Amino acid sequence: MVNAWIGLGGNFAESQSLLHTALNRLDDHASITVLRQSGVYCSPAWGYTDQADFVNAVAELETSLTADDLLTVLLDLEIALGRDRSGRRWGPRCIDLDLLTYQDLEVQTERLVLPHPRMHLRAFVLAPILELEPGFEIPGVGSAQHALERIEQHEADAVRLVE
């Protein structure tokens, strides 16, 4: 069994409910246990900013799946929950499930990059991780706390706990 961290997000009216549904479905999977989950945070859109604010959370999982198989489960769950990937990159979405880390594995393939290549740049990922694990270390990057401190203050301050 290994530990993995995932990010969950979305910016549709039902997204907050879908975060909880996704965690319940992951916990129901025979090869996955949700160990803990952060609170739900609200933040402005990142990348393509002309859209509604997002709700985000992270969860720590324990799994017997490989990283690639876990990614498949996450992508399949997105589709089952109504995700449509035909829109613009970083555009509106009902649910987004990202594999952030898988133990301390560092991988770069066409399909999978670990740790997530932008997690250290996103306050909406770092804040909920630090809520659960104040000493969190991003493989190959370092301290999540230091990464959050390097993010522009206005962006970090815009991430707020809502649940």
Catalytic annotation, residues: 83, 93, 96, 98
Q: What is the DSSP letter of 122?
A: -
Q: What is the DSSP letter of 40?
A: -
Q: What is the dihedral of CA 153, 121, 141, 1, to 10 degrees?
A: 120
Evaluate whether 18 touches 95 at the Cβ level (below 8 Å): yes
Token pair recorded at residue 112: 């999978």
